[in-house]
Amino acid sequence: MNDLLITLGLQAWKPLLGSLALPPAPFVLLVLLGAALLRRRPIVGWAGVVGGCLGLWLMGTGAVSGVLTERLEAQHPALTPSQIDALRKAPGTAIIVLGSGRVLLAPEYGDADLRPMTHERLRYGVWLSRKTAQPLGYSGGLAYGAEPGPSEAQIAARLAEDVYQHPLRWTEDRSRDTNENAIRTLELLAPQGIQRIVVVTHGYHMPRSIAAFERAKLRAGSAVAIEAAPMGLHVRRELGLGDWLPSRGGYTLTLLALHEMLGRWMGA
């Protein structure tokens, strides 16, 4: 699907299409359709109204967001101390942080900045790089529909040096989505003799990321090993009554999980 949009020259429409495909738009549409049918077909109309309202409620609950997030995160658990130690001894290794958005202007700094979630990825990448003594890179340009300005990779390079005193070895600043993160990163690292790429991103984003890197690896005929280093993972716990009440955090996690599932289906 992603390739089809690119072929048709509609890649700039991806943010709009994604917003229409993801909640709350489908549930709002269901409520409106149900309301329009109340007089002519009351049973169908009420089913639409109730179903849409129920969907809007449930998507904001910790119960639903937890199930969706855990399903994605379970595929790639956090690195263990022994795995981190093994990376320390692995030659030809590159740790690559994947982008997650930027802020064109942070008034308090008077400069462009990374989004909070992007900061989290960079922080873990720096930590892992220090723990393993392996070089660190960043992949992220300007997302589809983004305003002109410094790329994520340029901002990350500045912050890595100024804030963490840990300069990046590589910066890939042309990619616009996860699929291009993988393609451009392999192109960048191919001449560097890299034998292993350790991908750093949030746990819910890791399945799509690894799939993108494996596709890019296959297309390029590369033998490089791809390893997942997820972060921001959620700890499973028993559900309580509050987990069935909508919250801002619940809506955020549900949208992130559904965005990943949609992105995986589209091949983005």
pLDDT in tens, 126-161: 999 999 999 999 999 998 878 899 999 999 999 999
List the domain range (segments joined by +) for residue 53: 2-72+248-266
Strands 225-231 and 170-172, sheet pairing: unpaired
**16 and 134 housed in the same domain:** no
pLDDT band at 11 (very low <50, low <70, confident <90, very high): low
**151 and 193 housed in the same domain:** yes
d(CA 24, CA 30): 10
pLDDT value of residue 170: 97
pLDDT value of residue 102: 95
- Residues counted in the chain: 268
**35 and 83 housed in the same domain:** no
**90 and 205 housed in the same domain:** yes
Q: CA-CA distances (angstroms) from residue 20 to 26, 29, 66, 142?
A: 7, 10, 23, 21
**102 and 192 housed in the same domain:** yes
Across the range 10-29, mean pLDDT stands at: 71
Within a domain: residue 252?
yes
pLDDT value of residue 128: 98
How many domains does the chain divide into? 2
Residue 210 tokens read as 């690894």
Q: What DSSP state is assigned to residue 149?
A: S
**52 and 142 housed in the same domain:** no
pLDDT value of residue 22: 77
Across the range 8-25, mean pLDDT stands at: 64
Residue 138: give its domain's CATH number. Answer: 3.40.50.620
Within a domain: residue 243?
no
Within a domain: residue 242?
no
- The residue among 177, 172, 183 whose CA lies nearest residue 218 is 183
**87 and 68 housed in the same domain:** no
d(CA 247, CA 227): 34
**67 and 85 housed in the same domain:** no
Task: Evaluate if residue 19 carries a pLDDT over 80.
Answer: no
**156 and 60 housed in the same domain:** no
Within a domain: residue 211?
yes
The answer to whether 253 and 65 have CB atoms below 8 angstroms apart is yes
**31 and 145 housed in the same domain:** no
**101 and 44 housed in the same domain:** no
Task: Evaluate if residue 2 carries a pLDDT over 60.
Answer: no
pLDDT band at 15 (very low <50, low <70, confident <90, very high): low
Q: At residue 228, what are phi and psi to the nearest 5 degrees?
A: -95, 135
pLDDT band at 7 (very low <50, low <70, confident <90, very high): very low
**For all residues of the chain together, what is the average pLDDT?**
91
**19 and 143 housed in the same domain:** no
Q: CA-CA distances (angstroms) from residue 235 to 124, 184, 204, 231?
A: 17, 33, 13, 12
Compute the half-sphere exposure of residue 56: CA atoms within 13 Å on the CB side of its CA. Answer: 14
Within a domain: residue 171?
yes
Within a domain: residue 134?
yes
Within a domain: residue 125?
yes
Compute the half-sphere exposure of residue 8: CA atoms within 13 Å on the CB side of its CA. Answer: 10
Task: Evaluate if residue 12 carries a pLDDT over 70.
Answer: no
d(CA 125, CA 131): 10
- Beta bridge mates, 230: 201
